[in-house]
Amino acid sequence: MKIGLFIPCYMNELYPEASMATLKILENLGLDVEYPTEQTCCGQPMANTGCAHEADELARRFLKIFKDYDYVVAPSGSCVAMVRNNYAQFLDGEEGFEHLKTHTYEIVEFLHDVIKPKSMNAKFPYKVGIHNSCHGHREIGMASMSERNLPEFSKVKSMLSLVEGIEFVTLKRKDECCGFGGTFCVSEDAMSAAMGLDRVNDHVNAGAQIVTGVDMSCLMHMQGVIDREKLPIKTMHIAEILAGDL
């Protein structure tokens, strides 16, 4: 099984630790992982802003780079959702796209659905609040959503439960959006920041020490609010907890 590691462009530039943690998780499981170095961006910022032409070019580029891997794994629910749910407009019918679409996974999802480890060899003795980032949550179905009347589950919580010493807090709103929203964070910056603060406060009030989740972009936004408001909490990508990088 050859895995292509897909690291979102901004994570490559700004979050090398969380990205390395993702690599470490896969390598520790004895998997054959490769990071194709010519990768850049999946095109989501363009697509979400309506720039289909630009997104189309980047989607084609992405397919070319990743189509020969058995699996593509990324530490981001949002970028995976782009490939899985929004690439069809640009790539339907292209050779290798069906395979790419059905074999691109978010890291936690990949562990939960494909590898199914029984233990993670990680310790994290902290009170943790899970941020169910919308694209991971509702687009690729990482957990049951509060809107639907379906049996409850959470792949995120299931995987985190393998970590020793971890405690979960209960939020008032378990799956409300944090307001990052890609280019929304600057085109509606006042709204975005207000939503971010509300979300962070829910975690603070629930007694969380750490907010974690599968999307660094949401966490980056919330950390920005935390740092500005000097709140007693911090964010951490889920890969860093699962990798035992404490």
* Residue list 123-142, contact with another protein (CB under 8 A): 134-135, 138-139
User: What are the strands, taking DSSP E only, across 145-233?
Assistant: 167-168, 210-213
Closest distance to another protein from the beta carbon of 209 (Å): 19
Closest distance to another protein from the beta carbon of 20 (Å): 6
19-27, 91-99, 103-111, 207-215 -> range binding another protein (CB under 8 A): 19-27
CB neighbour list of residue 73: distance below 8 Å, 6 or more residues apart = 3, 4, 5, 6, 22, 26, 33, 104, 105, 106, 107, 110
Determine if 31 is a binding residue for another protein (CB under 8 A): no
> Which position among 126, 220, 244, 245 is part of the footprint of another protein (CB under 8 A)?
220
Determine if 245 is a binding residue for another protein (CB under 8 A): no
> Which position among 87, 223, 242, 243 is part of the footprint of another protein (CB under 8 A)?
223
32-91: which residues touch another protein (CB under 8 A)? Answer: 35, 37-41, 43, 45-52, 54-55, 57-58, 61, 86
Question: Among residues 7 and 211, whose Cβ is nearest to another protein?
Answer: 7
CA distance 213 to 238: 5
State how far the alpha carbon of 18 is from the alpha carbons of 25, 103, 228, 237, in Å: 11, 22, 22, 6
CA distance 91 to 101: 10
CA distance 156 to 111: 10
Closest distance to another protein from the beta carbon of 237 (Å): 12
Residue 234's SS3 state is strand
Closest distance to another protein from the beta carbon of 167 (Å): 25
Question: Among residues 113 and 189, whose Cβ is nearest to another protein?
Answer: 189
Here the tokens at position 118 are 């029984």
169-208: which residues touch another protein (CB under 8 A)? Answer: 173, 175-177, 179-198
User: What are the strands, taking DSSP E only, across 6-83?
Assistant: 32-34, 71-74
CA distance 216 to 209: 17
Closest distance to another protein from the beta carbon of 165 (Å): 27
Question: Among residues 166 and 238, whose Cβ is nearest to another protein?
Answer: 238
